[in-house]
Structure 1
């Protein structure tokens, strides 16, 4: 058995015994996507002088796997405002994909501002598989893991909905294809939140124009404009070289209708037609 698994549950990196000292109520959440730049965006937001970082670093996973710990525990993960800080929040790339998280967020933080960062879905799936392999959560090659996905995820979303205490290992770690169905996930957010509450970023643009993209983030969160040091313009990431050509074409075909559907949604207006060439990841 994988040492990081126990009875089908993901072992939590958080201590359940955080002091229950209530802090600021979160005003923003970075909700996805996995391997789409959410960690970097959360890091950049935490550098803004008006932001009080979450006490558990990147995030709490409260709305996906730790919801049973309760609202008081959640607020204990955030500091009180001090020294000009007026906003706090967190990030979890699982929030956008987990079947219960968006509804929980809408119920408990109805006015929250959401940030979504989306990466070209084939590159995202490959990067996701690489990450899970490195973490010890995946032992199958990429192509085989894609073939196994339907079997691994069969009934998992339904079980998550039936049993809010259930944690699905495969739904969280092995949904390489499905996490790239961005239109479906964004449509669900728009059913629960005004589109004005949701900022959709193109992950590749954070490489090519980080300051411009962060200006959009600051405006969306109601923060003063600032310029962070140490951010350089880089080439946008492309397809990794070790995706087989036939598989890449198959995945392009799979994602084409999803990408077309996404481009028509409010706040999007972009495609990845210029990022599908092969190159370094």
Structure 2
């Protein structure tokens, strides 16, 4: 064993993060005496809910230069544990990496949280932020499906239409105070992120496009993070049961999303779909104006 490699590999083993770190530590260790360290993330995947953050994180973690914190799903540090646990705890749950590698943390709730972006900025004013968004009608249905399964917000008691509409006199209309509707109205939270960070620090992806063609979105991330091109079309296998792509590793094992992903959406009447589309149209138009991008929603 090359001098210095023993310490490197032992430190990686002690992190208990699996074979990827050990494999890369051995390869890096052959050329350097550098030890891997737990580092605060340079990249944050900040959301949004039900837009592909989980798949994006898991796929990016397959890149040899990228290590995602996969400790326990969403970490929720900047929205939930910022005060109670502190940066020592946060750093300690990160994967062990070398200077040439990138640490990523993902929490879908950061996008909506009023203080998450500011807290990230206080940690590091120059991080890379990735935000992935799907069209709001799809996200609304997906949120309801998730809540119904977990019996949250009475979604198991009420139909989707009941949760997103209200009567104004005798006229049925979208309820702007509905939690689902508010979570799918992207303009205010997006404006917060744009006010906090330079636009070059933000990569905003179309979650609908990522679902259908993950390679294109992953190549945009590679360019954004200035890492080597790794992903190719042969790595992606379509799971017809879930309607989602899986990742085929070099050893032929296949990484698919967990059981809870790809839930069936509720049946929604054509009338309510049109009402939702009409309601979100001006909101989406304003979103595209402030991000200076458009998606085919």
TM-score (norm 1): 0.73
Within a 5 Å distance, the mapping from 1:166-181 to structure 2 comes to 175-181=179-185
TM-score (norm 2): 0.69
Instruction: Give per-residue Cα distances to partners, 1:100-159, cap 9 Å, x unaligned.
Output: 1111111112111111111110111011110111122233321222248xxxx98xxxxx
More strand by share: 2
Aligned with residue 235 of structure 2, among 230, 238, 262: 230
Within a 5 Å distance, the mapping from 1:154-169 to structure 2 comes to none
Q: What SS class does the counterpart of residue 103 from structure 2 fall into?
A: strand
Asked if structure 2 preserves the Cα contact closer than 8 Å seen for 1:36 and 1:119, the reply is: yes
Within a 5 Å distance, the mapping from 1:42-57 to structure 2 comes to 42-54=57-69, 56-57=71-72
Call closer, same or farther: CA 1:78–1:183 in 2, change over 3 Å: same
Instruction: Give per-residue Cα distances to partners, 1:233-271, cap 9 Å, x unaligned.
Output: 79899x967111121121112101101111212352224
| Higher Rg | 2
Structure 1, 138-147 or 175-184: larger mean CA deviation: 138-147
Which whole-Å CA distance do the structure 1 matches of 2:197 and 2:73 have between them? 23
Unpaired segments of 5 or more residues in structure 2? 1-14, 17-36, 167-175, 245-261
1:61 — aligned with what? 76
Call closer, same or farther: CA 1:244–1:252 in 2, change over 3 Å: same
| Aligned-residue offset at 1:79 | 2.4
Within a 5 Å distance, the mapping from 1:81-96 to structure 2 comes to 81-82=97-98, 86-96=101-111
Q: What SS class does the counterpart of residue 107 from structure 1 fall into?
A: helix
Call closer, same or farther: CA 1:45–1:57 in 2, change over 3 Å: farther
Call closer, same or farther: CA 1:131–1:55 in 2, change over 3 Å: closer
Asked if structure 1 preserves the Cα contact closer than 8 Å seen for 2:160 and 2:266, the reply is: no
1:119 — aligned with what? 134
Which whole-Å CA distance do the structure 2 matches of 1:118 and 1:92 have between them? 14
1:166 — aligned with what? none
Unpaired segments of 5 or more residues in structure 1? 1-17, 155-173, 273-281
Higher RCO (CA 8 Å, separation ≥ 6 residues): 1
2:276 — aligned with what? 251
2:83 matches 1:78 = no
Within a 5 Å distance, the mapping from 1:140-151 to structure 2 comes to 140-147=158-165
Asked if structure 2 preserves the Cα contact closer than 8 Å seen for 1:36 and 1:118, the reply is: yes
2:224 — aligned with what? 220
